[in-house]
Chains A and B, each alone.
Chain A
């Protein structure tokens, strides 16, 4: 596991990608040496913030900062037409899904799409400036690039949706599905992004007992890509580099 141990410094500095960070955290569980080194780093650096020379905060910063914090909530609510569904917590979204799930299947997909959109809207925030030099405070936006309904392959009763979104220049793919068959053993549902029929791995999940699954994946393939489609297949394990199973759900992008 040498490779992982080498990431300790970057993990400590928070410069790993989300995926790398998750992997490293998993690694930490099994590597006592890294755990100890990390602890030591934390102890050795614990005082360093106090090296900072006390700076006088600029006048009115508190008002500006708190205003932008509370405005970030407002921005959310404005984005959401239905106030009663305003994304207080993800729990609401989950409740919504559970409530609707047992009913007719036809309703599932739109409900999911709505839920997905809500949970995405929750991630969208804009810093609104108040009379500050805008050059120093660029807008921070995560934007929805595309959201699609996933279509089940023949004879499948599944439904789902996928959304590509841009967050600080990084692309994330968020997928949610409903009513997919249970997996067995090491099986996982693998999500793929397709470009010119070439599949790229884009996260995997195993559904819960109710047949629901979701995954958010940070798309980090080098170079420019024009994704044509998103597809989900059932794979024997999470290691498939190319799809081995048949497509369960898919959609063009």
Chain B
């Protein structure tokens, strides 16, 4: 029998099919956990993010539809929002630190990881390592810490009106740098 795709599994989950939820879980456990961990920097909290994400899925509190794009992108966004929310509730001011590990190789990570992720990750890390310190920092604060527009403007001593431009520029640099390396995101679309 053909394996169900994500959207089909999601539909079954909406119909309260426990097996479907379990399959989705298996499919995404590692990616979502690692991503949550990357944001909250704590194993216990990352597990809490996982719980919330799957409760939202199960209870239909977060609704996916195909017009929202790829299921995986939607799920990653939902996870990021959940993790950021939890960070904020912890209200230990997410003290900013550059994740130095981004610039390092991670060969010690488990071997049987999805190869694609690993390759993509390495290309990304190389690209990130080429960014200027401030650009790394602004991506970190905005994307991984979910800091508000206002907070970022304070942190960088930037007028509110220029924050968006700075973030965009940093992300574009990253993209360009990725392009030189063969463009992961283009490959992804195949």
Q: Contact between B121 and A53 (Cβ–Cβ < 8 Å)?
A: yes
Q: Contact between A51 and B54 (Cβ–Cβ < 8 Å)?
A: no
Contact with B along A27-47 (1 / 0, CB 8 A): 000000000010011111111
Q: How large is the interface on B (under 10, 10 to 19, 20 to 34, 35 or more residues)?
A: 35 or more
Q: Which of B34, B143, B185 contacts A53 (CB 8 A)?
A: B34
Q: Contact between B18 and A51 (Cβ–Cβ < 8 Å)?
A: no
Q: Which of A8, A54, A72, A137 contacts B30 (CB 8 A)?
A: A54
Q: Contact between B81 and A70 (Cβ–Cβ < 8 Å)?
A: no
For B33, the chain A residues whose CB sits under 8 A away are 55, 57, 61
Q: Which of B35, B69, B172 has the most CB of A within 10 A?
A: B35
User: In the assembly, what is the distance between CA of A43 and CA of B70, in Å?
Assistant: 12
For chain A, the count of residues having a C-beta within 8 Å of the partner chain is 48
Q: Which of A9, A37, A55, A62 contacts B25 (CB 8 A)?
A: A62
For B47, the chain A residues whose CB sits under 8 A away are 58, 61, 64-65, 132, 136-137
Residues of B whose CB lies within 8 Å of any CB of A are 18, 21-22, 25-26, 29-31, 33-35, 37-38, 42-48, 50-52, 54-55, 58-59, 69, 73, 76, 80-81, 84-85, 88-89, 101-102, 106, 109-110, 113, 117-118, 120-121, 124-125, 128, 139, 142-144, 146-149, 152, 160, 163-164, 167-168, 171-172, 174-175, 178, 184-185, 188
Q: Contact between B38 and A53 (Cβ–Cβ < 8 Å)?
A: yes
- How many inter-chain contacts with C-beta < 8 Å in the A-B complex? 159
For B168, the chain A residues whose CB sits under 8 A away are 37, 40-41, 44
For A37, the chain B residues whose CB sits under 8 A away are 164, 168
User: In the assembly, what is the distance between CA of A47 and CA of B139, in Å?
Assistant: 13
Q: Contact between A46 and B148 (Cβ–Cβ < 8 Å)?
A: no
Q: Contact between B110 and A56 (Cβ–Cβ < 8 Å)?
A: yes
For B185, the chain A residues whose CB sits under 8 A away are 43, 46-47
